[in-house]
Copies of this chain bind each other. A is one copy, B any other.
Amino acid sequence: MKKQKPTILVVNDDGITAPGIKALINVMKELGRVVVVAPDSPQSGMGHAITIGKPLRLDQVEIYADTEMYRCSGTPADCVKMAKSIIFKGSKPDLCVSGINHGLNNSINVLYSGTLSAAVEGAIEGIPSIGFSLDDYTLQANFEPCLKYIKNIAEQVLTNGLPPATLLNVNFPNKADLKGVKICRQAHAKWAEEFDERVDPHGRPYYWLTGVFELNDNGEDTDVWALENNYVSVVPVQFDMTAHHAIPLLNNWVFTN
């Protein structure tokens, strides 16, 4: 760990008043100076959305004692961008942590998750970044069993750094007796959507997105396997989305000129 007290940016996607961010703030205060920038409303499922078509607000607020906090009218990725440009003014925090999300962000959920996208945005900015999520969607979620792992993982990232252009996606099963940490890969899976069709009072249909998680992966090296077996899953995530292995194949195609 650095000799100076590290500066830690805390963000989330459930909004600045979510219990999960409060739990994360309290752990991070044991490690350094904390600055919180979080959405003013829940932003679950926002993925890596950024706000282009309308302006943003950023206001300092007092919620928890002795905590520097800002609420942002934008998305989780906007929070990181505004923190960097407006609060840190180009200097970089030593760590960016996102969460603790109320609900899992394992496997394919990394794409849909505002929590993870905030951490991806941190990593794009060259800040060592980690997303934390617990398998409990309720506001009554018990984060207590996660806290010692979160502190340990954050300490290790502060000490060792992370490989370039890489962040960590950490998920916790909703269990008291966690068996430790497993380094994993993202399981192959998707959501099988089922839209719940209803009719409004004016006779027009509307649809709620629902779905069933469909696992297509029997590997024992995946985050899904680790979570099912009571481990904390840690997936290193990159934001180079190039399918490098497909380049030679495509080079054999004959394109028009």
A-side residues, CB < 8 A to B, are 42, 44-53, 55-58, 75, 77-78, 81-82, 84-86, 108, 110-112, 117, 120, 124-125, 148-149, 152-153, 156, 160, 162-163, 165-166, 180-181, 183, 185-186, 188, 190, 193-195, 197-198, 204-209, 234-247, 249-251, 253, 255-257
B249 contacts A108, CB within 8 Å? no
Pick the residue among B125, B183, B251 that contacts A250 (CB under 8 A): B183
Alpha-carbon separation in the docked complex, A257 to B48 (Å) = 33
Alpha-carbon separation in the docked complex, A183 to B149 (Å) = 43
Task: Write the nearest CB–CB distance from A43 to chain B, whole angstroms.
Answer: 9
Task: Write the nearest CB–CB distance from A233 to chain B, whole angstroms.
Answer: 11
Alpha-carbon separation in the docked complex, A208 to B242 (Å) = 30
Closest to A247 in B: B183
Alpha-carbon separation in the docked complex, A135 to B162 (Å) = 34
7 cross-chain CB contacts under 8 A: A46-B47, A47-B48, A49-B49, A84-B193, A111-B124, A186-B241, A237-B242
Pick the residue among B57, B111, B238, B242 that contacts A207 (CB under 8 A): B57
Neighbouring B residues of A52 by C-beta, 8 Å: 44-45, 209
Pick the residue among B47, B50, B53, B243 that contacts A166 (CB under 8 A): B243
Question: Oligomeric state, in number of copies?
Answer: 2
Closest to A151 in B: B256
B186 contacts A56, CB within 8 Å? no
Contact A152-B45, Cβ < 8 Å, known A55-B207, A124-B108: no
Alpha-carbon separation in the docked complex, A249 to B204 (Å) = 55
Neighbouring B residues of A77 by C-beta, 8 Å: 47, 112
A81 contacts B193, CB within 8 Å? yes
A111 contacts B208, CB within 8 Å? no
B236 contacts A160, CB within 8 Å? no
B207 contacts A163, CB within 8 Å? no
A163 contacts B206, CB within 8 Å? no
Task: Write the nearest CB–CB distance from A82 to chain B, whole angstroms.
Answer: 7
